[in-house]
């Protein structure tokens, strides 16, 4: 038998595509004593989380809640609840996470129609309009608002307006968007929007966040077939999150993780959404100036870059993986590799939540200057 010792991670500065640096207030909140998930105190916490989530999503949707699983589970919950076998779904793809949306449609027996744009480009509203004209029986339009694989922010307001004109419900992935870039669920007529705890909320991974409009809830109630997933069935989850007197046991909630989520949402509320959006823009501009001083090139047009997820082209002849390894070894700094067609060619540098600070920008630029040749 080998000897085992206590695990103590090396402290890192996380500036990749997620998880992001966790704020000390969130870590402190998670260290509070665990209480039972049937405790009246915990039910009070659940109600406050729902209210703070509605504020973060800019919605009055009653069906707004956390899901005890990462962001990918919220993606699956969105499709599992709205989609029935044979339903036609238009999925807009301009990166990895649009591809994952399409995979959900296929696995759930939907009829998939794709609208594809090049990586590094926004979803084209006119392509969506044409796809809807060619498929008047489509029931759902799905797209990624903040594409983590490419650093592109698509025009969710315009895309949802086009979908609504055609009578479709919308599913919007804003896992990397919530808290870091403008997102207005009600004003933009989004029917289902989901996110995750580990990006711009600066909370540990493991919780996803989702909101359903009244129209989406009506679609779920009118289903002819059971929701494919028991765990992600909206009706069961909402019965669990309804509060004292009406709460039906569903699963044992991750109590301490929800302490952390509450603290993160409270901090976002204290800062103010628009201040948070502006802070991410300010730090993005500072980072871009520093990277361009090093001779590096941004992959995405400035008009639709995500300020919290910066995709940077590695210089010709530079081993991007070796640079990332050196940053980790010499500076305890993590940045992300490219995904899909960007693999081996680009870096993804995150400025999410607590990481969107001047000292992090300075660290990243200075560390890269030491790791790049010449």
The predicted structure's pLDDT at residue 259: 98
Domains of the chain: residue spans and CATH: 13-19+272-371 (3.90.1150.10), 25-269 (3.40.640.10)
The predicted structure's pLDDT at residue 194: 98
Full-model pTM: 0.96
The predicted structure's pLDDT at residue 242: 76
Please report, in tens digits, the pLDDT of each residue of the chain (374 residues total).
678 999 999 999 999 999 999 999 999 999 999 999 888 899 899 999 999 999 999 999 999 999 999 999 999 999 999 999 999 999 999 999 999 999 999 999 999 999 999 999 999 999 999 999 999 999 999 999 999 999 999 999 999 999 999 999 999 999 999 999 999 999 999 999 999 999 999 999 999 999 999 999 999 999 999 999 999 999 888 888 875 566 788 888 999 999 999 999 999 999 999 999 999 999 999 999 999 999 999 999 999 999 999 999 999 999 999 999 999 999 999 999 999 999 999 999 999 999 999 999 999 999 999 999 87
Q: Is 158 exposed, middle or buried (0-12, 13-18, 19+ CB in 10 A)?
A: middle
The predicted structure's pLDDT at residue 373: 87
The predicted structure's pLDDT at residue 164: 98
């Amino acid at each position: 038998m080998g000897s085992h010792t206590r695990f103590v991670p090396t402290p890192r500065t996380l500036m990749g595509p997620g998880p992001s640096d966790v704020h000390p207030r969130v870590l402190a909140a998670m260290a509070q004593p665990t209480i039972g998930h049937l405790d009246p105190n915990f039910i009070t916490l659940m109600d406050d989380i729902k209210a703070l989530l509605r504020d973060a999503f800019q919605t009055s949707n009653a069906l707004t809640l956390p899901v005890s699983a990462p962001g990918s589970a919220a993606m699956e919950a969105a499709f599992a609840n709205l989609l029935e076998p044979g339903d036609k779904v238009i999925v807009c793809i301009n990166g990895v996470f649009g591809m994952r949306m399409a995979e959900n449609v296929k696995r759930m027996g939907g009829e998939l129609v794709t609208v594809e744009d090049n990586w590094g480009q926004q979803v084209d509203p006119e392509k969506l309009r044409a796809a809807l004209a060619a498929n008047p029986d489509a029931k759902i339009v799905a797209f990624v608002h903040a594409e983590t694989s490419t650093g592109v922010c698509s025009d969710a307001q315009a895309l949802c307006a086009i979908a609504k004109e055609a009578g479709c419900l919308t599913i919007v992935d804003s896992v990397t968007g919530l808290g870091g870039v403008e997102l207005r669920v009600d004003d933009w007529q989004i029917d289902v929007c989901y996110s995750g705890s580990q990006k711009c909320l600066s909370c540990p991974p493991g919780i996803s966040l989702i909101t359903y409009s009244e129209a989406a809830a009506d679609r779920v109630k009118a289903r002819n077939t059971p929701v494919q997933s028991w765990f992600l069935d909206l009706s069961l989850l909402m019965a669990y999150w309804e509060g004292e007197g009406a709460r039906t046991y569903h699963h044992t909630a991750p109590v301490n993780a929800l302490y952390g989520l509450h603290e993160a949402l409270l901090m976002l509320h204290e800062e103010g959404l628009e201040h948070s959006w502006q802070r991410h823009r300010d730090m993005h501009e500072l980072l871009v100036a520093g990277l361009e001083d090093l001779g590096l090139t941004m992959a995405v047009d400035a008009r639709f870059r995500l300020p919290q997820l910066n995709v940077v082209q590695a210089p010709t002849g530079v081993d991007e993986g070796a640079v990332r390894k050196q940053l980790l070894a010499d500076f305890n700094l993590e940045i992300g590799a490219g995904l899909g067609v960007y693999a081996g060619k680009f870096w993804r540098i995150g400025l999410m939540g607590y990481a969107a600070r001047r000292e992090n920008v300075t660290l990243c630029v200075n560390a890269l200057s030491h790791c790049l040749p010449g």
